[in-house]
Amino acid sequence: MKTPSMIAGVLSLALGAVTSFAAVTVTNVTAVVSPEKVVTISYDLASPSALTNAVGVSISTNSGATFFSTCTNFSGAVGNNVAAGTAKQILWNALQDTLPTNNYPTTQVRVWASDSMVLIPAGPFQMGTNNLRYESQMTDAGPNHTVDLSAFYMDKYEVTSQQWFEVRNWALENGYTFGAGSGKAAKHPVQTVSWYDCVKWCNARSEKEGLTPCYYTSAVQTQIYRIDQISLSNDCVNWAANGYRLPTEAEWEKAARGGAVGMRFPWSDVQTISLAQANYFGSAGSAYDLGPDGNNPLFTPGGYPYTSPVGYFAPNGYGLYDMAGNVFEWCWDWYDASYYSSSPASNPPGPATGTSRVLRGGYWEVNAPYCRVAIRLDSAPDVTIKDFGFRCVRGQ
């Protein structure tokens, strides 16, 4: 992280840079504050990617002790598809954002960039389905309802075995406890990971990158969740923190739909699925499965699991890969079959209590019906089997 420097003005700012991945770097962050409290943030961005970089801004109002991601009034070289270059500019209308404190001299701004995350835009989407009789196995996926979500960033890819072990090795030396996890190869998704370990891994990834963790051992939010298996409540989550977390079920489904409405799978052109589009177990017994039958033979050498390298298939409309098939993905929420009937219309965090956690997306050994974007699965949070993986999100 770049050493912060103070900027004099009506609004004083300390500035820093954070990089999510080594291949992408943010440097030379500066800012000018106008009398109207409009902050012009300038930075240099180096990346091997042309127009696949996501850039975000995090704010601290306590001299960098914690950073949050709830400010939204940014424009310019921020969000998706920011090209590498020098003197990139972001405008922040600070007066239009609600800050936790007006102690502006302690405010810090961090600019971060990644070529492995994408911004999922704010706004409403249609969640679930009303075709419960026609769409078998989906009696818990209705009613179809409108959900309004804040913007968030999501990993383009499922967390890979390589990523898992890089963070896990760091975490084991810094006070964390974990199960082992597994993966067929470095660029294949990690699997055999419990919900508890995925949550702790999100915190470890955050701490390793100098971000504010999201998960705490109690609603007081003083002790970072690093060890044991604790049934965290929604109040144990600092939803405003700029660190990594599991997506809520609503966030996962909005992201999987890729901006399309009323589609069965993560793509927007057809209502069918085939082994050319996703890694699952093909079966001609389904009217919308074009197969062919069985697993894709490209992924069977070497035995179980028959995972595929992340990003092997085409992305959805938001630029996300493997939202159908490969491995089931843990979500934050407790599972409740009737939750949709009374869930909040804005940023639903899931039920307050439960005994199992939600999984989404299907995996390499299930048929097409389990790869639909609205299908809901659940499991006890301590289960570790070859089917389960995850990906991360973080606030804007």
Q: What is the model's pLDDT at position 227?
A: 98
Strands 108-114 and 13-19: parallel
This model's pTM is above 0.85 = yes
Q: What is the pLDDT of residues 292-327, one digit of tens each?
A: 999 999 999 999 999 999 999 999 999 999 999 999
Cis before residue 349, ω within 30 degrees of 0?
no
Share the mean pLDDT of the chain. 90
Alpha-carbon distance of 247 to 253, in angstroms, equals 9
DSSP, collapsed to helix, strand or coil, labels residue 42 as: strand
What is the pLDDT confidence band of residue 66, given thresholds at 50, 70 and 90?
confident
**63 pLDDT more than 90:** no
**145 pLDDT more than 60:** yes
**108 pLDDT more than 90:** no
**5 pLDDT more than 50:** no
What is the pLDDT confidence band of residue 105, given thresholds at 50, 70 and 90?
low
* Lowest-pLDDT choice from 90-99, 164-173, 191-200: 90-99
* Lowest-pLDDT choice from 1-15, 151-165, 270-284: 1-15
| Conformation bin of residue 276: beta by default, left when phi > 0, alpha when psi is -120 to 50 | alpha
Q: What is the pLDDT of residues 126-139, one digit of tens each?
A: 999 887 656 667 78
**2 pLDDT more than 50:** no
Alpha-carbon distance of 267 to 315, in angstroms, equals 8
Segment 346-365 mean pLDDT: 97
Q: What is the model's pLDDT at position 147?
A: 98
Q: What is the model's pLDDT at position 100?
A: 63
**236 pLDDT more than 60:** yes
Task: Say if residues 43 and 29 touch (Cβ distance below 8 Å).
Answer: yes
Q: What is the model's pLDDT at position 30?
A: 87
